[in-house]
């Protein structure tokens, strides 16, 4: 089987880079490597992860300065050529700040930094990120953020809804969304969205933190498995 | 040279959790008449040019590209010749 090239970007203040790297090493055909934020690259990556953390100390706005890092120009080029990009937590904030995804992440409406396990409803399973889940399935991912309150103009939200680009919503264990199951005030309980082309995902919850059954559940591993399967199939088709 | 003061504030429709927290502080101090608290940002810098129009244009560009996120925020620029 041909190998899948994957990069995990490291910004000053990233703290989930090793977890993301470890999740990728669970797949034999993936050989991940770290990419330093000051570096640019021309070579092809099948998958790039922007990990969680507090890049540049979250100064000014979370993800704002990281979005201007040299590596982000290469990430933008790669995204336009179809490389799969996953931005987790701070990575999601960076994707929004750099314009790869619409909207922004405001402070949590509760005024608190939240660190807990959170139920999510899988909204779509026809994406490369969620093909291993059942549509409507409730999964449990850890969340840990102070600025996860997804906001965007009404027309952007309408487009995301219409184009089925919301992959995960905050819910209760029964899959019911609504204010009571919303930890941070995100519009329409949005926890994760994709771009129009379907190759860039941003989500606040942490699939890399529960990518091993030893950590309680392996719901997050299914997300990575979905992506790796899709990339492998693509390689087989091209071969 | 121009000294520039930029005020960045969240749009009215966007929740300002810091403002809300400070308003709770006002309640604790017994101020019942203080409402609509918003915590805004002021960012100061200098633009090295003698041309006011250029200074304004540079500041405007800087605000649009980095200092304010148009999804959530708006900004005002104040210039002063040094």
Tokens of A161: 């809804």
**Mean pLDDT throughout A206-234?**
94
Report the distance separating Cα A113 and Cα A108, nearest Å.
Answer: 7
CB atoms within 10 A of CB B7: 16
- Interior angle at CA A228, CA A222 and CA A229, nearest 5: 85
Select from B6, B10, B17 the residue whose CB has the most chain A CBs within 10 Å, as the one to mutate to test that interface. Answer: B17
> In the beta sheet, which residues pair with residue A141?
A118
Contact assignment for A108 to B17 by CB distance below 8 Å: yes
Q: Catalytic annotation on A123?
A: no
Pairing outcome for strands B41-47 and B73-81: unpaired
Select from B8, B9, B15, B73 the residue whose CB has the most chain A CBs within 10 Å, as the one to mutate to test that interface. Answer: B15
**pLDDT number for residue A236:** 84
**pLDDT number for residue A78:** 98
- A237 vs A6, A78, A151, A233, A234, CA distance in Å? 19, 21, 39, 6, 5
In sequence order, which ranges of A81-134 are alpha helices (DSSP H)?
A: 90-97
**pLDDT number for residue A226:** 98
**pLDDT number for residue B72:** 95
Q: What are phi and psi of B9, to 5 degrees?
A: -135, 150
**pLDDT number for residue A1:** 54
For A115, the enclosing helix (H) or strand (E) is strand A114-122
**pLDDT number for residue A54:** 95
Residue A96: list chain B partners with CB under 8 A.
Answer: 71
Report the distance separating Cα A102 and Cα A206, nearest Å.
Answer: 20
> What residues make up the domain containing B17?
2-81
Match 């608190």 to its residue by tokens: A112
**pLDDT number for residue A230:** 96
Contact assignment for A106 to B20 by CB distance below 8 Å: no
**Mean pLDDT throughout A177-206?**
97
B18, B20, B21, B26: CA torsion to nearest 10: 130
- Residues of B with a Cβ under 8 Å from any A Cβ are 10, 14-18, 20-21, 66-67, 69, 71-72
- Residues of A with a Cβ under 8 Å from any B Cβ are 60-61, 64-65, 68, 96-97, 103-104, 106-111, 149, 151-153, 185
The enclosing domain of B63 has a CATH number of: 3.30.1280.10
Tokens of B67: 């200092």
In sequence order, which ranges of B2-82 are alpha helices (DSSP H)?
A: 17-28, 52-62
Looking at the structure of chain B, the number of domains it has is 1
Q: How far is CA B29 from the centre of its chain?
A: 26
* CATH class of domain segment(s) A4-238: alpha beta
**Mean pLDDT throughout B49-67?**
97
**Reported confidence tier of residue B51, pLDDT bands at 50, 70, 90:** very high
Instruction: Decide if A41 contacts A74 (C-beta within 8 A).
Output: yes
Region for residue B40 given its phi and psi (left: phi exceeds 0; alpha: psi -120 to 50; beta: otherwise):
beta
**Reported confidence tier of residue A234, pLDDT bands at 50, 70, 90:** confident
- Interior angle at CA A155, CA A136 and CA A153, nearest 5: 95
Say if residue A21's pLDDT is above 70: yes
Of A60, A64, A111, the CB nearest to B21: A111
For the segment A80-135, what is each residue's pLDDT rounded down to a tens digit?
A: 999 999 999 999 999 999 999 999 999 999 889 999 999 999 999 999 999 999 99
Domain residue ranges of chain A, discontinuous segments joined by +: 4-238
**pLDDT number for residue A215:** 84
Averaged pLDDT score across all residues of chain A: 96
**Mean pLDDT throughout A49-65?**
94
- Report the predicted TM-score, pTM, of the whole model to 2 decimal places: 0.94
Q: Give me the percent of chain A exceeding a pLDDT of 70.
A: 99
Least confident of A1-5, A176-180, A222-226, B12-16: A1-5
């Amino acid at each position: 089987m041909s190998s899948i090239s994957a990069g995990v970007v490291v910004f000053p203040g990233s703290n989930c880079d090793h977890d993301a790297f470890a999740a990728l090493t669970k797949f034999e055909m993936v050989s991940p490597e770290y990419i330093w934020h000051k570096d640019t690259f021309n070579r092809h990556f099948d998958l790039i992860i922007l990990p969680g953390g507090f890049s540049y100390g979250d100064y000014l706005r979370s993800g704002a300065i990281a979005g201007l890092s040299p590596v982000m120009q290469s990430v933008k080029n790669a995204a336009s050529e179809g490389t799969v990009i996953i931005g987790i937590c701070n990575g999601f904030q960076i994707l929004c700040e750099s314009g790869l995804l619409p909207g922004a992440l405001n402070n949590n409406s509760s005024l608190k930094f939240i660190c807990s396990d959170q139920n999510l409803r899988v909204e779509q399973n026809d994406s490369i990120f969620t093909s291993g889940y059942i549509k409507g399935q409730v999964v449990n991912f850890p969340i840990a953020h102070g600025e996860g309150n997804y906001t965007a103009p009404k027309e952007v939200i309408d487009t995301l809804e219409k184009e089925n680009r919301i992959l995960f919503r905050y819910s209760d264990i029964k899959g019911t969304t609504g204010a009571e199951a919303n930890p941070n005030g995100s519009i329409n309980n949005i926890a994760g969205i994709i771009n129009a082309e379907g190759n860039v995902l941003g989500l606040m919850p942490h699939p890399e933190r529960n990518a091993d059954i030893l950590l309680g559940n392996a719901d997050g591993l299914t997300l990575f498995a979905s992506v790796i399967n899709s990339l492998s199939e693509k390689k087989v088709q091209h071969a | 040279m121009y000294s520039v003061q930029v005020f960045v504030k969240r749009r009215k429709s966007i929740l300002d959790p810091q403002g809300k927290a400070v308003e709770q502080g006002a309640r604790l101090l017994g101020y019942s008449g203080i409402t609509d608290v918003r915590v805004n940002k002021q960012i100061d810098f200098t633009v090295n040019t003698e041309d006011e129009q250029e200074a304004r244009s540079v500041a405007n560009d800087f605000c649009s590209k980095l200092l304010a996120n148009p999804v959530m925020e708006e900004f005002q620029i104040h210039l002063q010749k040094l």
